[in-house]
Structure 1
Amino acid sequence: MADGKDIDLDIQQWQNIMQETYTSLSPFDSTSIDDLRRVTALVRAPWTEGGPVMQRIEEKHVGTYSTRIRLYYPNHDQACPTLIYIHGGGYIIFSLDTHDRLMREYASRANVVVIGVDYSLSPEVKYPRAIYEIVSVIQWLREQNATDLSIDVNRMAIGGDSAGANLSVATNLRLRALNEPVLVAQLLNYGVYDRVRPTSDSYVRYNDPKYRLNAEEMQFYFNNYIQNEADYDDPYVCPLHADLHGLPPSFLTITECDVLFDENRSMAEALRKANVNVEEHIYHGTTHSFLEAVRIATISNKALDDACQWLIKQFY
């Protein structure tokens, strides 16, 4: 197991500040979903402050499931490219609010409309409900032709972090299965692509609280998300083992100090083997969720710039 000295100094500062907030909010029951949602939202709140100012932000309820979406418009009213963003949180926590700063950063840096999807969390609903909701939002956008929303439905990408990256890939797989067009690109930040593999090198090396995410947490998330063990065989749950042919160009933001490191490298290779155009970046010294440290971390800013430069190339 690593000793924690390999963590970037800015990222370590970010982790230390968050840990102080967690400590100030103790005691709380880490096995209670309600407590987890309340506390993690409070811990994340300061990190959503500041950042780019949008021309306007709108919310709507759309699609078969009346799913709430939030639209971020950086500076224009004409039809323009769009990034549909799926927040992480192990399928059970976080929200549009915890990822508000991150979505504004993407909108501003890539000059695109960002649409955050407020999919239903587990365990109130189980797999595959979240995927169906996201697909329904995309279908609604396409059916409306989204002209009144000032977006170009022929230039829509999807992206997300952690569980949100998983749901992004699963959404494209679902669209392909329905014989509907996949989105033009997928932006995948430190995603979950396989079941917990506690003997893999990265799980062994980084399975410690100092690196933020550990095997016990991951298993807890999966236990609340899936309906039964058989779901692990479903490619929508573990897309690392899916047929990935026909998926769009993919950008993978990979955290070095993360139990998910190995499966992210494996996912990049699996996509390449499926003839998908892949760009992957490993950010050394970073831990899970490091993009949320954009307010203070140079490496988080670099990662966002790298992704947005790539995204712009996919649209133009």
Structure 2
Amino acid sequence: MHDGSPVLDDLDPDIRRFQREVAAAYGRYPDFDRLPLAERRRVAEDVRAPWTAGGPVMAATEERRIGPHGVRIRIHRPDHRPDMPILVYIHGGGWTMFSLDTHDRLMREYAARAGVAVVGVDYSLSPEAKFPVALDEIVSAIRWLRAEGSALGLDASRIAIAGDSVGGNMSIAANLRLRAAGEPVLAAMLVNYGALDSRPVHPSYTRYDGPDYNLTTAEMAVFWANYARDAADLDDPFACPMRADPAGLPSAFFAIAECDVLADENLAMASRLADAGSAVTSRIYAGATHSFLEAVSIAPLADRALEEASAWLAMQLGGTSR
């Protein structure tokens, strides 16, 4: 029984506001989990729309379909400098939801802050497209940029990759695929609260599970089930980077939300990469939940995280950090 003393909230106040407002927006659809998948995706786009509004204005934005898969990409340029380095961005959403639109502000933030051209990849979603379709599309986009980027006025020799949640997963996996094919890995990778281990064995899955946070253990189980074709995929290192040999992977920055079911697997992956010889920078953002970067319009904590990662990216790529 509560004794009347104040109940301490472990979330940053602005991140708690973000979490509550997102939860309330989904709460307008009490039957959300029973809606057809297409309708759930539409609702998710609506819920995220206020958080992707505003932010930096780009000098140019264009879309095109590229490569043998006809993948749609969106290119944000913060200015008109020639030979700008490239950041490939892979959005999160459990392989099941979200889009270039839900993550457009994050892409523009990195473009403006790091002084890079950001290329968002509109990969195919699960469960319609199972592993490895999305990863194939991302690797195809990287190869296309290496071949054609200079024709767009970009520096194809300076490419990094970044992503949040499952986008962090596929950022690492894309480098694993390039390494396996005997191709150079990318210059750097930025992992924002990545979904890196298919088994919920880490303590943070218990500590930060439930409706007070932005991602639950049950949701992650559904996402993995949507992505994998069968149980064997859950052990495939291209699907589950925690199973991979980390030798020879690029320098990495891990932005880790303290109050996230995925926090401990990000710490573990960062440690494995460092032990294998990669230069690793890890930042744990106290009081942050999964998806907290999307709260940049109201949260100084998200602003700081974006600024720190962007400064690191500019250093890795030779961009022009503001």
Q: TM-score, normalised by structure 1?
A: 0.96
- Give 1:52's aligned residue: 56
Instruction: Determine which of 134, 140, 143 is the counterpart of 2:144.
Output: 140
- Give 1:83's aligned residue: 87
- Structure 2 residue matching 1:109: 3-state secondary structure: helix
- Give 1:305's aligned residue: 307
Instruction: Determine which of 30, 33, 38 is the counterpart of 1:29.
Output: 33
1:155 is aligned with what amino acid?
Answer: R
Rounded to whole Å, the distance in 1 between the matches of 2:187 and 2:103 is 23
Instruction: Determine which of 261, 264, 267 is the counterpart of 1:265.
Output: 267
- Give 1:170's aligned residue: 173
- Give 1:160's aligned residue: 163
- Structure 1 residue matching 2:28: 3-state secondary structure: helix
Instruction: Determine which of 111, 130, 152 is the counterpart of 2:115.
Output: 111
Rounded to whole Å, the distance in 1 between the matches of 2:158 and 2:108 is 19
Confirm or deny: 8 A CA contact 1:196 1:218 kept in the other structure.
no
- Give 2:243's aligned residue: 241
Runs of 4+ with deviation above 4 angstroms: none
Deviation at 1:46, TM superposition (A): 0.6
Rounded to whole Å, the distance in 2 between the matches of 1:183 and 1:30 is 41
Q: TM-score, normalised by structure 2?
A: 0.94
- Structure 1 residue matching 2:315: 3-state secondary structure: helix
Cα pair distance change 1:196/1:35, threshold 3 Å: farther
- Give 2:217's aligned residue: 215
2:160 is aligned with what amino acid?
Answer: A
Instruction: Tell me whether 1:289 sits opposite 2:291 in the alignment.
Output: yes
Rounded to whole Å, the distance in 2 between the matches of 1:17 and 1:259 is 20
Which deviations, in whole Å up to 9, do the C-alpha atoms of 1:238-295 show, x marking residues without a partner? 1112011111100000000011111010001010111110000000000000000000
Rounded to whole Å, the distance in 2 between the matches of 1:147 and 1:97 is 26
Q: Where does the alignment leave 5 or more consecutive residues of structure 1 unmatched?
A: none
Which deviations, in whole Å up to 9, do the C-alpha atoms of 1:38-72 show, x marking residues without a partner? 11111000111110000010001001100000000
Count of equivalent residues: 312
1:249 is aligned with what amino acid?
Answer: S
Instruction: Tell me whether 1:314 sits opposite 2:316 in the alignment.
Output: yes
Rounded to whole Å, the distance in 2 between the matches of 1:123 and 1:216 is 16
Rounded to whole Å, the distance in 1 between the matches of 2:263 and 2:142 is 30
Confirm or deny: 8 A CA contact 1:4 1:211 kept in the other structure.
no
Deviation at 1:30, TM superposition (A): 4.8
Confirm or deny: 8 A CA contact 1:4 1:210 kept in the other structure.
no
1:298 is aligned with what amino acid?
Answer: P
Q: CA RMSD in A?
A: 1.3
Deviation at 1:7, TM superposition (A): 0.5
Rounded to whole Å, the distance in 1 between the matches of 2:90 and 2:296 is 18
Rounded to whole Å, the distance in 2 between the matches of 1:99 and 1:185 is 20
Q: Where does the alignment leave 5 or more consecutive residues of structure 2 unmatched?
A: 1-6
Cα pair distance change 1:86/1:4, threshold 3 Å: farther
Rounded to whole Å, the distance in 2 between the matches of 1:288 and 1:4 is 19
Instruction: Tell me whether 1:194 sits opposite 2:197 in the alignment.
Output: yes
Rounded to whole Å, the distance in 1 between the matches of 2:287 and 2:190 is 21
- Structure 1 residue matching 2:225: 3-state secondary structure: helix
Equivalent residues in 2 for 1:84-99, closer than 5 Å: 84-99=88-103
Confirm or deny: 8 A CA contact 1:45 1:98 kept in the other structure.
yes
1:160 is aligned with what amino acid?
Answer: G
Confirm or deny: 8 A CA contact 2:147 2:156 kept in the other structure.
no
Rounded to whole Å, the distance in 1 between the matches of 2:34 and 2:225 is 15
Q: Between the two proteins, what is the percent identity of the paired residues? A: 52
Rounded to whole Å, the distance in 1 between the matches of 2:302 and 2:107 is 14
Confirm or deny: 8 A CA contact 2:67 2:140 kept in the other structure.
yes
Rounded to whole Å, the distance in 2 between the matches of 1:218 and 1:30 is 17
Instruction: Determine which of 102, 105, 110 is the counterpart of 1:101.
Output: 105
Which deviations, in whole Å up to 9, do the C-alpha atoms of 1:129-160 show, x marking residues without a partner? 1111111111111122x223121011000000
Which deviations, in whole Å up to 9, do the C-alpha atoms of 1:12-44 show, x marking residues without a partner? 111122122112233333574223211111100
Deviation at 1:306, TM superposition (A): 0.4
Instruction: Tell me whether 1:72 sits opposite 2:76 in the alignment.
Output: yes
Rounded to whole Å, the distance in 1 between the matches of 2:171 and 2:111 is 18
